[in-house]
Amino acid sequence: MTFPSFSDLILNFSDSIILPVRRAQAPVVYPERSLKIQAINGFKDILPDSVVRWQHIEQRARDIFERFGMQEIRMPILEKTELFVRSIGEATDVVEKEMYTFADKGITMRPEATASIMRAFIEHGLHVQQPVQRLYTIGPMFRHERPQKGRLRQFHQLDAEIIGAVEAQVDAELIAMGQMLLDELGLSVSLELNSLGCPVCRPPFKERLVVYLERISTGLCEDCRRRTHTNPLRVLDCKKPTCRELAQDAPSLLEALCPDCDRHFHEVEEALTRLGIGFSRNRFMVRGLDYYTRTTFEFLTTDLGAQAAVGAGGRYDGLIEQLGGPALPGIGFAMGMERIALLLEQQGDAGLPAVGADIFLAALGPETIAPCSLLAHLLRREGVRAAMDYSSRSLKAQLKQANRQNARFTLIVGTDELARQQGTLRNMASQEQRPVDLSGSAAEQCQRLLRVLRA
Ligand code: HAM
């Protein structure tokens, strides 16, 4: 038996380890003009200028939700497909044609948050900790719809749910919370209200509705003819003019509610009126998800073209039990953040907080960069938003940059000034300038500047 020599080992070693590394370092040849890769249709970047708007919406929402005792919950984006099929319903548009499903793995990217919250609620037995749970979540949802203004394939919802309370007052409180959020964001919307009844009154109503729809079926669109047997209630909110006209004479569920649902609906209306929330009844509103019972509502705008619903929700008293949990009622809503952001933008972003640097340090010569960067670092440690440029560009260019960064002040430090232990502080709004003392240690300079910034 022969053993490899030491030099063989080195060779093998270099063959197997070093050479591949060298090979990997060989220059990569790019095609002369690479194709630009763009975001997928219906999936959108939210760029830094718009993020301010999004943060504002989120902050207002968290503030208001927490005033109502809501606690945040965060769930995964992927869930078992069955969760959505069983909750949203097999014969809904969302489940039939809009879900992003990995069929081989049996999982789906959540098209909405309610089902996921209910899954988490049941899985962790949250009702044991607290009989009434108030939960909210904020995040992306995914539906394969035709993209248009205010309608995306990845969109974001502010979702709020109250689980374990059956009282009509709770419906009104939740709706009032949604209204308060939209009011505080400065958006004017109209609120529409309906009741979808319960397993006692809805089935006989559906039978009457099917009889009516069969009678007028020749005038209905193809989708509605199909829905007559799969999901007849959906025919009532078809947007096609001929279907809308024919639906006018359809029987009304509001007039066919059982006594309990009827009382509940009237109590919701009374409570909303007491809270000063304006609303109108819309007996044609059925919502696109199957889990609803009793109260349903939508916050609508006329400023977004076809996508009128800024937010929507309702009661889902049988859902938790249907998903294998305790027999607990629930009610919630979700608002579309893209739609809210569009409305804010259309209104000129009134109410958005001004964001920008507190101070921009304009270092005007190579020697000034190091002291300015130390000063910027110390200021940041004190909580100041300090920006600076390291390229020693001209004063004009740096003032331009300070303006772009919305700086309140600019500290101008030139080489001569630095030698005299002085700088110039410019108020960017009034353009007033005054000398500042830059003597002493960087910590002392920082404290002096802080006094000016906080004055
Ligand atoms: P939804 O009506 O399907 O209800 O959606 C609620 C809101 O999300 C809509 O009013 C709209 O503002 C926004 N939205 C829906 N789809 C899109 C999209 N493709 N692009 C942009 N925005 C969209 C639900 O999702 C229920 N989970 C609400 C709920 C919570 N019900 C009870 N609790």
Residue 11's pLDDT is 35
**End-to-end CA, the chain:** 87
State which of 339, 342, 343, 344 you would mutate to test the pocket of ligand 1, scoring each by most atoms of that ligand within 8 A of its C-beta: 339
As separate numbers, helices (DSSP H) first and strands (DSSP E) second, the chain gives 18, 16
Read off the pTM: 0.89
Nearest CA to ligand 1 atom 25: 112
What are the two backbone dihedrals, phi and then psi, of residue 309, each rounded to the nearest 5 degrees? -85, 115
Cβ 193 vs Cβ 297: under 8 Å: yes
Distance 174 CA to ligand 1 centre (A): 16
Q: Which two tokens stand for residue 51?
A: 């993020």
Q: Is ligand 1 within 6 A of the CB of residue 145?
A: yes
Structural domains of the chain sorted by starting position, each given as residue range(s) with its CATH number in brackets:
48-201+257-346 (3.30.930.10), 359-453 (3.40.50.800)
Residue 33's pLDDT is 73
Q: Is ligand 1 within 6 A of the CB of residue 232?
A: no
Residue 35's pLDDT is 84
Distance 292 CA to ligand 1 centre (A): 13
Residue 350's pLDDT is 84
What is the identity of the amino acid at 442? A
Only one residue has tokens 């505080």, namely: 184
**CA-to-CA distance for 158 and 177, rounded, in angstroms?**
12
Contacts 24+ apart (CB under 8 A), 272-275: 272/172, 272/175, 272/176, 272/193, 274/172, 275/172, 275/173, 275/176
Averaged pLDDT in 10-residue chunks for the chain of 455 residues:
40 35 57 84 96 96 98 98 96 94 97 98 94 97 96 98 98 98 96 97 95 93 92 90 91 96 98 98 93 97 92 97 97 98 93 91 95 97 96 95 96 94 96 95 96 91
Q: Is ligand 1 within 6 A of the CB of residue 88?
A: no
